[in-house]
Amino acid sequence: MTETAKAIEVHDLFKKFGPLEVLKGVSISASQGDVIAIIGGSGSGKSTFLRCINMLELPSAGSIHIHGEEIAMKKDGQGGLQPANRKQVQRIRSRLAMVFQSFNLWQHMTVLQNVIEVPVHVLGLKRDEAIAKAETLLKRVGLFEKRDIYPAFMSGGQQQRAAIARALAVDPLALLFDEPTSALDPELVGEVLSVIGDLAKENRTMLLVTHEMNFARNVANHVVFLHNGLIEEQGPPDQVFGAPKSERLRKFISSIH
Protein backbone atom coordinates (compact mmCIF):
# COMPACT_ATOMS: atom_id res chain seq x y z
CA MET A 1 0.00 0.00 0.00
CA THR A 2 1.46 3.36 -0.99
CA GLU A 3 1.31 6.26 1.42
CA THR A 4 -1.48 7.89 -0.56
CA ALA A 5 -3.52 4.71 -1.13
CA LYS A 6 -6.66 4.29 0.92
CA ALA A 7 -7.31 1.13 2.91
CA ILE A 8 -10.71 0.90 1.18
CA GLU A 9 -11.94 3.06 -1.68
CA VAL A 10 -15.32 2.48 -3.31
CA HIS A 11 -16.40 4.67 -6.20
CA ASP A 12 -19.90 5.03 -7.62
CA LEU A 13 -21.17 1.60 -6.60
CA PHE A 14 -24.48 0.42 -8.03
CA LYS A 15 -26.31 -2.81 -7.27
CA LYS A 16 -29.49 -4.10 -8.88
CA PHE A 17 -31.48 -7.20 -8.02
CA GLY A 18 -33.51 -7.57 -11.19
CA PRO A 19 -35.48 -4.33 -11.59
CA LEU A 20 -34.81 -3.30 -7.96
CA GLU A 21 -31.95 -0.82 -7.62
CA VAL A 22 -30.61 -1.20 -4.07
CA LEU A 23 -27.45 0.92 -4.41
CA LYS A 24 -27.56 3.98 -6.65
CA GLY A 25 -23.99 5.24 -6.77
CA VAL A 26 -22.34 5.02 -3.35
CA SER A 27 -18.77 6.20 -2.85
CA ILE A 28 -16.77 5.82 0.33
CA SER A 29 -13.10 5.93 1.29
CA ALA A 30 -11.41 4.72 4.47
CA SER A 31 -7.83 5.46 5.43
CA GLN A 32 -5.83 3.04 7.53
CA GLY A 33 -7.29 3.02 11.04
CA ASP A 34 -10.60 4.66 10.11
CA VAL A 35 -13.70 3.30 11.84
CA ILE A 36 -16.67 4.11 9.63
CA ALA A 37 -20.17 3.46 10.94
CA ILE A 38 -22.85 2.95 8.29
CA ILE A 39 -26.36 3.67 9.54
CA GLY A 40 -29.80 3.84 7.96
CA GLY A 41 -33.22 2.29 7.98
CA SER A 42 -34.17 -1.18 6.84
CA GLY A 43 -33.80 -1.50 3.08
CA SER A 44 -31.43 1.45 2.75
CA GLY A 45 -28.70 -0.76 1.22
CA LYS A 46 -26.29 -0.96 4.18
CA SER A 47 -25.68 -4.70 4.23
CA THR A 48 -25.67 -4.97 0.44
CA PHE A 49 -22.97 -2.29 0.28
CA LEU A 50 -20.80 -4.17 2.77
CA ARG A 51 -21.31 -7.47 0.93
CA CYS A 52 -20.29 -5.84 -2.37
CA ILE A 53 -16.97 -4.70 -0.87
CA ASN A 54 -16.27 -8.32 0.07
CA MET A 55 -17.60 -9.51 -3.31
CA LEU A 56 -20.21 -11.68 -1.61
CA GLU A 57 -22.57 -9.68 -3.81
CA LEU A 58 -21.38 -8.64 -7.28
CA PRO A 59 -21.92 -4.95 -7.98
CA SER A 60 -23.76 -3.86 -11.09
CA ALA A 61 -21.36 -0.96 -11.68
CA GLY A 62 -18.60 0.92 -9.91
CA SER A 63 -15.07 0.21 -8.69
CA ILE A 64 -13.54 -1.11 -5.46
CA HIS A 65 -9.92 -0.63 -4.38
CA ILE A 66 -8.41 -2.44 -1.37
CA HIS A 67 -5.09 -0.97 -0.19
CA GLY A 68 -4.61 0.63 -3.58
CA GLU A 69 -5.38 -2.53 -5.58
CA GLU A 70 -8.45 -2.40 -7.81
CA ILE A 71 -10.61 -5.50 -7.87
CA ALA A 72 -10.64 -6.42 -11.56
CA MET A 73 -14.16 -6.78 -12.92
CA LYS A 74 -15.68 -7.33 -16.34
CA LYS A 75 -19.19 -7.13 -17.84
CA ASP A 76 -21.22 -10.28 -17.25
CA GLY A 77 -23.38 -9.91 -20.36
CA GLN A 78 -26.51 -9.21 -18.29
CA GLY A 79 -25.87 -5.60 -17.39
CA GLY A 80 -23.79 -6.37 -14.32
CA LEU A 81 -20.20 -7.16 -13.35
CA GLN A 82 -18.30 -10.28 -12.45
CA PRO A 83 -14.73 -10.85 -11.24
CA ALA A 84 -12.16 -10.81 -14.03
CA ASN A 85 -9.68 -12.69 -11.84
CA ARG A 86 -11.18 -15.11 -9.34
CA LYS A 87 -7.80 -15.79 -7.73
CA GLN A 88 -7.45 -12.09 -7.00
CA VAL A 89 -10.90 -12.01 -5.40
CA GLN A 90 -10.11 -15.07 -3.28
CA ARG A 91 -6.83 -13.53 -2.15
CA ILE A 92 -8.37 -10.18 -1.24
CA ARG A 93 -11.46 -11.74 0.34
CA SER A 94 -9.28 -13.94 2.56
CA ARG A 95 -7.93 -10.74 4.14
CA LEU A 96 -11.20 -8.79 4.27
CA ALA A 97 -12.68 -10.34 7.37
CA MET A 98 -16.45 -10.12 7.67
CA VAL A 99 -18.47 -10.63 10.84
CA PHE A 100 -22.11 -11.43 10.09
CA GLN A 101 -25.22 -10.80 12.17
CA SER A 102 -25.97 -14.54 12.21
CA PHE A 103 -22.43 -15.55 13.34
CA ASN A 104 -21.92 -18.00 10.41
CA LEU A 105 -19.73 -20.32 12.48
CA TRP A 106 -19.24 -23.84 11.19
CA GLN A 107 -21.51 -25.87 13.45
CA HIS A 108 -19.60 -29.16 13.01
CA MET A 109 -16.37 -27.60 14.29
CA THR A 110 -15.29 -26.54 17.78
CA VAL A 111 -14.54 -22.89 18.43
CA LEU A 112 -10.81 -23.52 18.04
CA GLN A 113 -11.33 -25.38 14.77
CA ASN A 114 -13.45 -22.50 13.49
CA VAL A 115 -10.66 -20.01 14.22
CA ILE A 116 -7.82 -22.01 12.64
CA GLU A 117 -9.70 -23.24 9.55
CA VAL A 118 -8.89 -20.37 7.16
CA PRO A 119 -5.33 -19.67 8.41
CA VAL A 120 -4.40 -23.35 7.91
CA HIS A 121 -6.34 -24.33 4.79
CA VAL A 122 -6.45 -21.04 2.88
CA LEU A 123 -3.45 -19.01 4.08
CA GLY A 124 -1.14 -22.01 4.58
CA LEU A 125 -0.17 -21.33 8.19
CA LYS A 126 1.33 -24.27 10.06
CA ARG A 127 -1.22 -25.92 12.30
CA ASP A 128 0.69 -25.47 15.56
CA GLU A 129 1.27 -21.79 14.77
CA ALA A 130 -2.41 -21.35 13.91
CA ILE A 131 -3.46 -23.00 17.19
CA ALA A 132 -1.13 -20.81 19.27
CA LYS A 133 -2.44 -17.69 17.53
CA ALA A 134 -6.06 -18.83 17.88
CA GLU A 135 -5.66 -19.47 21.60
CA THR A 136 -4.24 -15.96 22.06
CA LEU A 137 -7.20 -14.49 20.20
CA LEU A 138 -9.71 -16.57 22.16
CA LYS A 139 -8.18 -15.34 25.42
CA ARG A 140 -8.56 -11.83 24.11
CA VAL A 141 -12.29 -12.22 23.45
CA GLY A 142 -12.83 -14.11 26.71
CA LEU A 143 -13.40 -17.55 25.20
CA PHE A 144 -10.22 -19.53 25.90
CA GLU A 145 -12.09 -21.89 28.21
CA LYS A 146 -14.65 -22.53 25.46
CA ARG A 147 -12.12 -23.45 22.75
CA ASP A 148 -13.21 -27.10 22.55
CA ILE A 149 -16.94 -26.36 22.67
CA TYR A 150 -19.23 -26.54 19.63
CA PRO A 151 -21.19 -23.37 18.70
CA ALA A 152 -24.57 -24.98 19.48
CA PHE A 153 -23.63 -25.06 23.17
CA MET A 154 -22.76 -21.35 23.37
CA SER A 155 -24.79 -18.19 23.82
CA GLY A 156 -25.25 -15.81 20.90
CA GLY A 157 -22.81 -13.38 22.45
CA GLN A 158 -20.18 -16.09 22.83
CA GLN A 159 -20.71 -17.20 19.23
CA GLN A 160 -20.30 -13.67 17.96
CA ARG A 161 -17.12 -13.19 19.98
CA ALA A 162 -15.85 -16.46 18.48
CA ALA A 163 -16.70 -15.10 15.02
CA ILE A 164 -14.66 -11.96 15.79
CA ALA A 165 -11.69 -14.11 16.87
CA ARG A 166 -12.03 -16.04 13.61
CA ALA A 167 -12.03 -12.76 11.67
CA LEU A 168 -8.88 -11.55 13.44
CA ALA A 169 -7.06 -14.83 12.77
CA VAL A 170 -6.44 -13.90 9.12
CA ASP A 171 -4.62 -10.64 10.03
CA PRO A 172 -7.25 -8.72 8.10
CA LEU A 173 -6.57 -5.65 6.00
CA ALA A 174 -9.98 -4.47 7.19
CA LEU A 175 -12.83 -5.72 9.34
CA LEU A 176 -16.38 -5.56 7.99
CA PHE A 177 -19.16 -5.86 10.59
CA ASP A 178 -22.71 -6.43 9.35
CA GLU A 179 -25.02 -5.56 12.26
CA PRO A 180 -23.00 -7.77 14.63
CA THR A 181 -25.41 -7.37 17.55
CA SER A 182 -28.81 -7.43 15.81
CA ALA A 183 -29.40 -11.16 16.45
CA LEU A 184 -28.42 -10.99 20.12
CA ASP A 185 -30.57 -10.81 23.22
CA PRO A 186 -30.24 -7.33 24.78
CA GLU A 187 -28.22 -8.56 27.76
CA LEU A 188 -25.56 -10.02 25.42
CA VAL A 189 -25.06 -6.95 23.24
CA GLY A 190 -22.62 -5.24 25.61
CA GLU A 191 -20.06 -8.06 25.63
CA VAL A 192 -19.77 -7.97 21.84
CA LEU A 193 -19.68 -4.16 21.61
CA SER A 194 -16.92 -4.14 24.23
CA VAL A 195 -14.72 -6.38 22.07
CA ILE A 196 -15.40 -4.29 18.94
CA GLY A 197 -14.72 -1.10 20.88
CA ASP A 198 -11.32 -2.43 21.96
CA LEU A 199 -10.47 -3.28 18.34
CA ALA A 200 -11.37 0.25 17.25
CA LYS A 201 -8.57 1.61 19.46
CA GLU A 202 -5.90 -0.43 17.63
CA ASN A 203 -5.60 1.48 14.35
CA ARG A 204 -7.64 -1.19 12.57
CA THR A 205 -9.66 -0.23 9.51
CA MET A 206 -13.28 -1.09 10.24
CA LEU A 207 -16.58 -0.64 8.44
CA LEU A 208 -19.47 -1.18 10.80
CA VAL A 209 -23.11 -1.47 9.77
CA THR A 210 -24.99 -0.97 13.03
CA HIS A 211 -28.22 0.17 14.60
CA GLU A 212 -26.45 0.88 17.92
CA MET A 213 -26.33 4.66 17.62
CA ASN A 214 -24.56 5.43 20.90
CA PHE A 215 -21.90 2.90 20.02
CA ALA A 216 -21.47 4.41 16.55
CA ARG A 217 -21.15 7.86 18.06
CA ASN A 218 -18.53 6.78 20.59
CA VAL A 219 -16.44 4.41 18.46
CA ALA A 220 -16.52 5.66 14.86
CA ASN A 221 -14.53 8.59 13.51
CA HIS A 222 -16.85 8.91 10.50
CA VAL A 223 -20.55 8.13 10.08
CA VAL A 224 -22.38 7.49 6.80
CA PHE A 225 -26.19 7.68 6.67
CA LEU A 226 -27.64 5.67 3.79
CA HIS A 227 -31.18 6.28 2.60
CA ASN A 228 -32.81 4.53 -0.35
CA GLY A 229 -29.49 3.40 -1.81
CA LEU A 230 -27.74 6.77 -1.60
CA ILE A 231 -25.58 8.57 0.95
CA GLU A 232 -27.95 11.14 2.39
CA GLU A 233 -25.40 12.62 4.80
CA GLN A 234 -21.99 11.81 6.24
CA GLY A 235 -19.44 13.35 8.55
CA PRO A 236 -17.88 13.17 12.01
CA PRO A 237 -20.14 11.54 14.65
CA ASP A 238 -20.72 14.74 16.59
CA GLN A 239 -21.95 16.50 13.47
CA VAL A 240 -24.09 13.63 12.17
CA PHE A 241 -25.75 12.92 15.51
CA GLY A 242 -25.51 16.35 17.10
CA ALA A 243 -26.31 18.68 14.22
CA PRO A 244 -27.77 16.70 11.30
CA LYS A 245 -28.39 18.78 8.19
CA SER A 246 -30.81 16.40 6.48
CA GLU A 247 -34.45 16.22 7.53
CA ARG A 248 -34.41 12.47 6.79
CA LEU A 249 -31.44 11.97 9.10
CA ARG A 250 -33.12 14.02 11.83
CA LYS A 251 -36.23 11.85 11.58
CA PHE A 252 -34.14 8.66 11.56
CA ILE A 253 -32.22 9.65 14.70
CA SER A 254 -35.37 10.69 16.53
CA SER A 255 -37.12 7.43 15.56
CA ILE A 256 -34.48 5.25 17.21
CA HIS A 257 -34.11 7.13 20.49
The whole-number average pLDDT for the span 214-227 is 95
Across the range 232-252, mean pLDDT stands at 96
29-38, 162-171, 248-257: least confidently modelled range: 248-257
Instruction: Average the pLDDT over 222-245 and give the result.
Output: 96
Q: What is the pLDDT of residues 156-172, one digit of tens each?
A: 999 999 999 999 999 99
**Phi, psi dihedrals of residue 85, rounded to the nearest 5°:** -140, 95
Residue 2 has pLDDT above 60, yes or no: no
Give the residue, 191 or 2, on which the prediction is more confident. 191
* pLDDT value at residue 1: 41
Mean pLDDT of 109-134: 96
Backbone φ and ψ for 25, nearest 5 degrees, come out as: 110, 65
pLDDT at position 257, please?
62
**Confidence label for 4 from pLDDT (cuts 50, 70 and 90):** low
pTM (2 d.p.): 0.93
Domains of the chain: 1-95+206-257 (3.40.50.300)
